């Protein structure tokens, strides 16, 4: 099943809206969170296929959020958008470069790879 529901998290509203539009134009349903607290609340109450962390969030906060997600037992893929070339988040499943052309070129590949990754998240437990 392809990824369809994305939680995009970022502190820069115009940047977050742009990513939202790009993902929606590619056929994804996107929910946005403008703070770490909002992201945690949405994650706990939602059923997302992918979490996208924008570079407007400090690296330590992206790592913290990813660790919280993993501590919950979820294996939802977490993709971080790097703020600088070569930046890589320690706990994210993948990192995308921030340049618009690179982001557009890579996002589809990352999403496809994420769908092939074995997951055990709350939906799997509910179906058992």
Domain that holds residue 81: 5-127
pLDDT along the chain (128 residues), means of 10: 79 89 84 94 91 87 89 87 60 63 66 60 45
CA distance 112 to 9: 20
CATH number for the domain harbouring residue 92 = 3.40.50.2300
| Res 89: pLDDT | 62
pLDDT score, position 109: 72
Give residue 32's pLDDT.
Answer: 94
Q: Which of 105, 108, 106, 111 is nearest to 93 (CA)?
A: 111
Number of domains in the chain: 1
Model pTM score: 0.74
Q: If residue 86 lies in a helix (H) or strand (E), which one and from where to where?
A: none
CA dist., res. 110 & res. 103, Å (int): 10
């Amino acid at each position: 099943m392809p990824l369809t529901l994305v939680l995009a998290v970022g502190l820069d509203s115009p940047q977050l809206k742009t990513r939202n539009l790009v993902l929606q134009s590619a056929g994804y349903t996107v929910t946005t969170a403008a703070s770490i607290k909002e992201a945690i609340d949405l994650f706990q109450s939602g059923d997302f296929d992918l979490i996208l962390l924008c570079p407007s969030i400090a690296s330590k906060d992206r790592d913290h959020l990813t660790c919280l997600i993993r501590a919950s037992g979820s294996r939802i893929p977490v993709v971080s958008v790097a703020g600088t070339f070569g930046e890589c988040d320690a706990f994210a499943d993948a990192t995308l470069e921030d340049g618009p052309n690179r982001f557009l070129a890579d996002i589809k590949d990352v999403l496809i790879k994420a769908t092939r990754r074995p997951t055990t998240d709350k939906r799997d437990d509910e179906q058992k």
